[in-house]
């Protein structure tokens, strides 16, 4: 993905945590790369100008956790619509989860994903392979084949690896290919038939709860296994206060553990399930937890215990969502709302602008060793221009994603991506968009 066009992104506040830049600059893009970031630079007549005054110009966002649903569930999302949703949200790269149909446990599905992503020509798409064959939790997948064909990490996301012995072997085996092992942490026995977070709210609503401890025990187990093996452990969608404390302590001891948190676990809690009146757009896995857990996640993000923000973009059709709460599928779409939802944390003084941008770009690049995440001279020109003050009504009918399952539907959100460049190509322009 490259382009010969010269683009000047002018007058915006450039926030590039990787280089420590925060100030009004012009970003010059030439031949697909960042040519210059400077206070004053003359624009040649044939260059395209993007007016970024009043906006932030940041490295393109990188999502370590998205479900693009192809192959197998194309009625929910395809690589093309998922990549379109990504760039509309400022994401220039997305890692796509392997719980498709068939699952991505080998080169065939990885190849298909990369072919479709190239045809879409929007965001960069990085496949993530399975930990276990068929995602059955019994036998390890061929990590060498997954790495060689283009996978950047392994996970059985959607399910935990319940066998401690298999998890140990995964952490050992993945090191040979320098693959991070991303884990969906819930003890299925403790979860039982729970459909939301266990607490006063679940009791009031008469819904079966799953305790935060179901996440804690798995995180504690995997930290012990990471210590035993020296493996590269990544905690997906961390959501419980106990898990955040465990990761903080493990990092202090020097373990190679990283973690991501979703926009919804930073901003919504179990009381929102009640407020919504059993709306299944508030049902996800891990579930929305208590206010205390939300606070712990925010503190974890602020102090660096949690490296980055990942959307867990999980499109579902009407058939999976517009049914009773306990029967509905887990998950929400998130690529097009992530920036607005998280920008609220900056307005509330919980994190700085630079930390927000870092958590969406440089940090995820580091966690999965991906290119991008910086506006350094010579870097591929993956750039997001976002307006932190732009108010817009969240109307899922206008999403680029194929699915509509958003808990923010109908709400006025503040903050929106206006332009996205991938490899120096303008792949999204809100002003030109039909929206
Ligand atoms: Zn998961």
pLDDT digits (tens, 9 = 90+) for 85-142: 999 999 999 999 999 999 999 999 999 999 999 999 999 999 999 999 999 999 999 9
| 75: confidence class by pLDDT, cuts 50, 70, 90 | very high
- Return residues with CB closer than 5 A to ligand 1 (ion): 157, 184
Q: How far is the CA of 382 from the centre of ligand 1 (A)?
A: 27
Distance 63 CA to ligand 1 centre (A): 14
Q: What spacing in Å lies between the alpha carbon of 184 and ligand 1's midpoint?
A: 5
Q: Say how far apart CA 136 and CA 51 lie, in whole Å.
A: 50
Rg (CA), the chain: 21
Between the two ends of the chain, the Cα-to-Cα distance in Å is 25
Catalytic residues: 312
- Token output for 434: 């039909």
Which residues are within 8 A (CB) of 256 and not within 5 positions of it... i.e. 6 or more apart? 226, 230, 231, 232, 233
pLDDT band at residue 74, thresholds of 50, 70 and 90?
very high
CB of 86 closer than 8 Å to CB of 122: yes
Residue 435 pLDDT greater than 80, yes or no? no
pLDDT in the model for residue 431:
87
The CA distance from 169 to 158, in Å, is 20
Q: Which element (helix H / strand E) includes 266? A: helix 263-267
Which pTM was predicted?
0.97
CA 22–ligand 1 middle distance (angstroms): 34
- Answer for the pair 6, 48: CB distance below 8 angstroms, yes or no: yes
- Checking if the pLDDT of 2 tops 60, the result is no
Beta strands in 357-402 (DSSP E): 383-393
| Closest by Cα among 45, 46, 57 to 9 | 57
pLDDT (tens digit per residue) in 48-67: 999 999 999 999 999 999 99
What's phi and psi for 23, nearest 5 deg?
175, 170
Compute the distance between CA of residue 249 and CA of residue 178 in angstroms, rounded to an integer: 24
Measured distance CA(312)–CA(94) in Å, rounded: 10
DSSP code at position 280: G
Which backbone phi and psi does 135 adopt, to 5 degrees? 50, 40
Q: What are residue 221's phi and psi, to 5 degrees?
A: -60, -45
**Cα-to-centroid distance, 127 and ligand 1 (Å):** 15
């Amino acid at each position: 993905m490259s382009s010969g066009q010269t683009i000047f992104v002018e007058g915006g506040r450039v926030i590039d945590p990787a280089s420590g830049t925060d100030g009004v600059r012009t970003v010059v893009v030439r031949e697909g790369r960042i040519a210059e970031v400077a206070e004053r630079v003359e624009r040649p007549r044939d260059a395209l100008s993007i007016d970024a005054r009043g906006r932030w110009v940041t490295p393109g966002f990188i999502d370590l956790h998205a479900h693009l649903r192809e192959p197998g569930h194309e009625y929910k999302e395809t690589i093309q619509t998922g990549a379109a949703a990504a760039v509309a949200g400022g994401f220039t790269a997305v890692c796509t989860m392997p719980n498709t149909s068939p699952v991505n446990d080998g080169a065939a599905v990885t190849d298909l994903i990369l072919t479709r992503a190239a045809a879409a020509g929007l965001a960069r798409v990085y496949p993530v392979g399975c930990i276990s064959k068929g995602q059955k939790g019994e036998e390890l997948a061929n990590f060498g084949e997954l790495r060689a064909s283009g996978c950047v990490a392994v996970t059985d996301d959607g399910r935990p690896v319940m066998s401690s012995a298999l998890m140990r072997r995964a952490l050992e085996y993945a090191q040979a290919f320098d693959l991070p092992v991303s884990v969906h942490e819930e003890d299925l026995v403790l979860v039982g038939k729970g459909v939301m977070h266990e607490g006063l709210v679940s009791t009031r609503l008469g819904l079966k709860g799953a305790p935060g401890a179901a996440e804690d025990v798995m995180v504690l187990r995997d930290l012990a296994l990471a210590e035993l093996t020296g493996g590269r452990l990544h905690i997906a969608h961390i959501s419980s206060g106990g898990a955040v404390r465990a990761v903080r302590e493990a990092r202090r001891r020097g373990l190679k553990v990283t973690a991501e948190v979703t926009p919804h676990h930073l901003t919504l809690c179990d009381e929102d399930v009640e407020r919504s009146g059993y709306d299944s757009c508030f049902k996800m896995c891990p579930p929305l937890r208590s206010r205390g857990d939300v606070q712990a996640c925010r503190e974890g993000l602020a102090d660096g215990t949690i490296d980055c923000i990942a959307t867990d973009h999980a499109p579902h059709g009407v058939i999976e969502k517009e049914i009773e709460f306990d029967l509905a599928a887990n998950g929400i779409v998130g690529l097009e709302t992530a920036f607005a939802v998280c920008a609220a944390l900056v307005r509330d003084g919980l994190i700085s602008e630079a930390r927000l941008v870092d958590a969406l770009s440089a940090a995820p690049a580091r966690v999965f060793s991906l290119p991008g995440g910086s506006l350094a001279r010579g870097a591929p020109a993956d750039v997001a221009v976002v307006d932190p003050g732009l108010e817009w009504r969240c109307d899922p009918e206008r999403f680029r994603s194929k699915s509509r399952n958003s808990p923010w539907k109908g709400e006025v959100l503040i903050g929106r991506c206006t332009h996205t460049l991938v490899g120096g190509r303008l792949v999204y322009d809100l002003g030109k968009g039909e929206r």
